[in-house]
Each structure stands twice: as C-alpha cells, then as structure tokens.
Structure 1
Amino acid sequence: MSTVLNEHERVIKAPAEVVGALLDRLSAEDDPLFPTPAWAAMIFDRPLGVGATGGHGPVRYSVTEYEPGHRVRFDFTPPDNGFHELSVEPIGERRCRVRHVLETRPHGKDRLLWSAVVRPLHDTIIEEVFDNIERAATGGCARPVRWSPRVRLYNRLMWSRPETVGVPESAHLIRTAVDRPGYEDAYRMELLPGQPRDPEAWTGILRDAFPVIDRDGDELLLEVEARGLTARASILVDERYVTLSSTVRADTLRGRIYWGVVKQAHPFMARMMLRRTHRRLALATPSAGERELERRRSAVSGPSHLVSG
C-alpha cells in the first residue's frame, strides 16, 4: 500500500504574524481563507482548537495539534487515515512561507479515486486558500489559480441540491396569492457566505421570464402566465435560506389538462433552476480574501456602495 504525500507552499510578502492571525480564523464565521461559497465551508463543532471535529463537505477530520499563529494539524476520521496540516514560517522581516502537507495511505478503489477526483479538487482548493492568504495579507493576488475543465465539472456535479419543504409561514404573499389553490410546493437551499440577501438578485431562478408583481420585505411575488391557470411563484430570502414556492389553480378544462401534463416536470424544473441560480451566484461571489479586504475598508470608511451579486 503506497503512501500519498501531497505538498503545497507559497511565499507571501507579509510578516508571519499577519498571516498567522489569518490562519487562526479558519472555520470562524468570518473565515478569510477557506474558499467558500465556491466550495463547502470548513466547519467544526467548536472554535478552532485541539479536539474540534468537523471538516468540509464529505471530508471529515479533527484538530489534533494547534500552535496559534503558526500551525494546525487535522487528522482524518476513520475509515480514512492520515492527516493534513497548514503552517506558517517566517523567512524574513516582511516575508513568510505558508505550507500545506497532506499524507494518507489510500487502499482499494480509493487509490483510483484519489488520482481521478480527489487530487485535482484538493490541489485547487489548497491553491485557493493560498490565494486568499495572499489577498488578505497583501491586498492582491498576482496569479490566482484557474479551474481546469475537470474541476469545473466536478464542482457542478457535487453542488448541493434543493430540499423539498412546505411553503414557509413567513411567505405571506404566496400564501394569499391564489384562492383555493389545487397545487402548492416549495424548495429551499441554504445561503452561503457572501451570497446576496436581496431577493431581487435571485429572480434569475425563473430566467427573468415572469414579472415581479409585489414585494413584501424579503419576499418577491411573480406572476406566471399560462392560459387556463392562475399561478404565482415566490422567492423568499430569510436569514438562512432562499426558498422558491409555487401555487397553482386550474380554472378551465383546458387548464386542467395542461397542468396535468406540466406538473409532472414542474418539480424537477423548479429544483434545477433554483440549484443552477444558487451555484451561479456562489461562483460570482467575491472570494473570502476579497470579502476580508472589504470588511476592513468598511470598518475604516463605513459601508461600501458595492453590493455582492
């Protein structure tokens, strides 16, 4: 059984203590380094420190060694084995080296999975972490990593999927939009760091094909035109989720026949459009390093007029 040793390093033109302070904020709500929302966030069951357990996406690990401002080591959770580690080393008064090391012993089909899928994703994510370190510590990134076609495909395939829910109680517009509806549904996705909280930014879910006819706080009501039907759609953005809801009433025989056919595909189409828009807005969101710079500017000069998304 062969051992995989994967190493990345980069020289950052900033003092080690500056970069170390950024390292200490990994997994925090204002994490300036991990490349979310393009990738699943690093989340632990407690603040960064020895004993914290969690991971990012399907990758599970726990913190086994931690030297604040210098180094943090994560051991993979069984049945996986090995560790990955991120460290900062001064190499002068105004420069430092950041280094990431991963060591594991894949077995069976995991060896093929590492080469074909895990390694290109891992390499891209780590280089994006380094990009964010460079941005947050120096104000810019000279050569940001580019996604290969394979990485872009994997990102699309791995993107989270909408959850089927009831029409939210707080979605007042859609709940009163149609008298005696014959059909209702709702699908939601969790909002990711940096994604827009204004429902206007989410109208692309329906490809801007349906006009907005009302707004109440964080909810938009859209009119869905179809002969023989009274139909409305709603986009609600609350503190945690974006929810797409629909309500339909067939008013004529032609409408009932039409809706009887369309409703077979409607759930699939609604989930697909919500998921596609969710991913598009996530990829358009400024990086964690850019959001960190914007937070600093806002702290100094007040809120920026620029709005993500």
Structure 2
Amino acid sequence: MSSILTITLNPTVDLFGEVGVVRPIRKVRVSNQRYAPGGGGINVARVIDTIGGEVEAVFLAGGPTGSWLDTLLARDGIRRQMVPISGDTRVAFAVQESGSGFDYRFVPNGPAVSNEEVKPCLEIVRRHPAEYVVASGSLPEKVTPDIYAKMAKIVAEKGGRFVLDSSGDGLRVTLEESRVFLVKPSLGELEQFVGHELDEQSAREAAVSLVKRGVAEMVAVTMGAHGALLVTAEDVLRMPTPRVKVRSAIGAGDSFLGAMVSALAGGWAVKGAFHLGIAAGAAAVLTPGTELCRREDIRSLYPMSPDADTELLAGLV
C-alpha cells in the first residue's frame, strides 16, 4: 500500500459529552466526557490508521492545548509531525442532547498563523515520499488562501496525488490555481463554491464541470443521509447511504474520505473505493460524538454494495 500524508493547518482538541436538555442561564451538567484529537486531516489519518493504512499526520499546534493534542495522538498511536506555532491550538466542544438526539457543536476559529509558521509544512510535503497527500480542514486566520494550491503543485511536480477537502477561500483558490487528484466538497461547500443552492442534478452538473475543466480528476460530493456522488472523466456514480441508526453525524465526511483514499492507495478500483467510503461514512454515524468509524461496522456495511469485493476488503480492513 502506498503511504499517505495528511495535512491539518487548523486542528482541534475535540471535547464531547452528553446532557439531558440544553437550557439557557442554568448550569447544564455534562456526563460521559470524551477527548479526541481533531481537525480534518487528523481525523482522516485516524480513519486510515483504523483500517490498516500507512499514514502520517502533519499538523500545526501551539501552547498547552497543542501539547495536549500531540499527547492524544500519541495515545492513539498515530505517526505524526507537529509543526509549532505561537498561538494556542483551539478546543472545540460538542454535546448531545439525550432527549432529542441533537448534537450541539461549538467550534472556535482557532489561532492566527503567520505564513512563516506554515512554511515548514511545504517543506515536509516536498520531501515526504507519500504518493497521496490529503489536505483537509479550514485555513487558519492570516494564512494566505493559496497555501493548498502551493502544496498541490509540489505534489504534482513529484508525481504524487493531491486530495483536497476544504471550504471557502481554501477550496476556491486551490481549484483556481492548481489541479488536484480528488476534491471532496460537501453539498453545502459546493453550493458556497458555485454561489447558489444546488439540488442533486445541479450538483452533478457542477461536479462534471470541474472534471471537464481539468480542475480535478475526481470530484466526490457528500450529501449526508442522501449518500454521495462521484464524478470522473469516465463515469458518474451515485450511491445512497445505507440505512443505519444515527447516533452522531460528527466525522462522517472525514471517515468517507479516509476510507476512500486508503482504498485507492491500496490499489482498489475507483468504484470499489467509493463504495468503501460510503460504508465508512455510514459506520461513523453509528458511533457517539467524536468517535469515528469502526472496522467491524465498515465490514458489515460494505457488502451492502452490489459491487462488494470481500477479498479486497479483507486485505484493507
């Protein structure tokens, strides 16, 4: 299996707990607290590691909370390189209301980061032997929005494959200034990119346009409970999400991307990798809070695909 490098420029320490009812003014007691390393690329790395892929996570971190994040990654056995910054790593907090089942998520913007502090990440991308580089998550304040485009160009010059999962200017500028192997916007992120609301047909047309323009070799649009859409130069694939009991939707998109990239790096055909991503995304909603997909759940959900290949699945998860 080819090695995978993930990049997280604005990571988090994720706190999760459960409450009876969310109320204003009064104290709301939280139970069953959990602490996890978070941020797009870190979550993708956690998923890849869970299902047996070879991955290393690169992330910016600073202050006591940055040390805490690094400790949590060490606890989970994730190979990593921490790039120090002067600001404090953000802490995000989510609670699930037991009465309604709703998740309430509170996510700070995170520290401002100078372009000088980000430069080491470019050097790591330049010298790392990974065939796949996954840049996932929001951009920190003050970082120029072309940072992912610069990474994409470095990876392309090395003959590697650059995968992007971001939003706003990070998504827009990268697709304007570089070419990526795979881009994975959610439906909402794609709407923000094109500037108007999309139904499934118009989302398909927008994704096809990106591929035809040569912006990306593949575009995967995740649509939550409605499944996902994958566009390549050869095909347009549409797959619904398996029907499962939802405990929390946190991390479903990262689980989808981590599983799909793992499969591609393992030599899977595109269609099978896409189906594995769908299974992993569905597996993630079976787990509470910030817990991501579990191997056994991916195994049980993947054969629901009509193109299931159990031999390939056994080799990966």
Task: Name the TM-score, length of structure 2 as normaliser.
Answer: 0.28
Higher Rg: 1
Task: Name the TM-score, length of structure 1 as normaliser.
Answer: 0.29
Greater percentage in helix: 2
